[in-house]
Structure 1
Amino acid sequence: MKTRVFLFDFDKTLTDEDSIFLLWEYAIKMKRISRFYYIGKMILGAFKYIFSLGNFKYMKTEMCSVLKYLSEEDLKNFVDYIYENHILKEGEVYFNNLGEGYKMLVSASPINYLKYITKYLNFDVVIGTELDENFKLVGENNKHRAKVKRIQEHLGKVGIEIDYEISEGYSDSYSADRPMLEMVNHRYLINSKVREEGYKNLSWS
């Protein structure tokens, strides 16, 4: 069935900072994880990225390794913290005033905590990067063309076809999310300096 679909990125589209780095800051504060440990993990991830000839999967695994220190309750509390301190409130108001349609949050952030944002933002589905029980990536990092694949797979399962002419997409990054945004007719760049034909710019704080 053809349906109006709203596609949203998360980090720096609905938030003011990247949530995975906020998660590390949260864990350092709440779980007393050493900041030097965090720096070491980022350096290790960078080396793995370089020596794998640019395979970001290794870097992403190191970035997500902090999740092993956090319980489900911790992750719920972390999303409370994001909402209270880092959600762009103008973006929230805009989201809450959208018309009827199927609302999808599609992000490279781990689904482990991203799924809890529906407590505050009424998305019909949340699609994030999937991790196994050891917090290693399952499949691809949910970014760029991988988002398109995941969106198509999900919509196929629920029997929805994007009504291109009236559907909308929102992201802070033209380069990262262009494939996703081109799935819809109405494309918005959030707090971006990029100006592109076929895209409208919105400023949220």
Structure 2
Amino acid sequence: TKVSSSALTKFVLGTLSDDSNPITHSDIREHHVVSISTGHQVADKPLDRGLYMRDRERKLAVQRDIKFKNGGGQVLSNVRAYVDGFLENTTDLEMKRIIIRAGGVMLPTPSGCTHIVTSMQLSGSKTQKLLTTKSRIKVHVVKPEWVFDSIKAGKRLSEREYAIVKNSAMKTLHDVVKKESGSGK
């Protein structure tokens, strides 16, 4: 009682609209799993990362405003910081909280930052990029102690003493005078 393939095909095609047809009325793929973190399974288009970052920054700005109204200082106002790598004697989460509480802004990427906070030397490529890139904003690579000492002093201290990366091409008046007095002239 072997059924021919043409008879089987004719039967299946004749029952496509029938609820008992397992091909057209299967519920095996009906239960979708949706990630609560991204929701990408239900999105109609790719995730717009720029929109996400703008919305995130807006929410963080509201949080900063609330913290400022609750007594946060402005010692680090105009500081846009990025934490890169290991921080000695603190964690990156704690450092971010301290900078925000002192009036600074934390950035998720180093682009647009005024300060990179780290306890280690940057990699060679990062250092080269930092020293050779022409930018409107001078980026200071500082130790975490700069943040702590600035808050303790109640004002933003000079980054020079806390610098991780020092650009030898950028001489200050202090450096020139020190060199002149050290050479015996």
Q: Which has the larger radius of gyration?
A: 2
**TM-score, scaled to structure 1:** 0.24
| Greater relative contact order (CA < 8 Å, ≥ 6 in sequence) | 1
Of Structure 1 and Structure 2, the greater helix share is in 1
**TM-score, scaled to structure 2:** 0.25
Of Structure 1 and Structure 2, the greater strand share is in 1
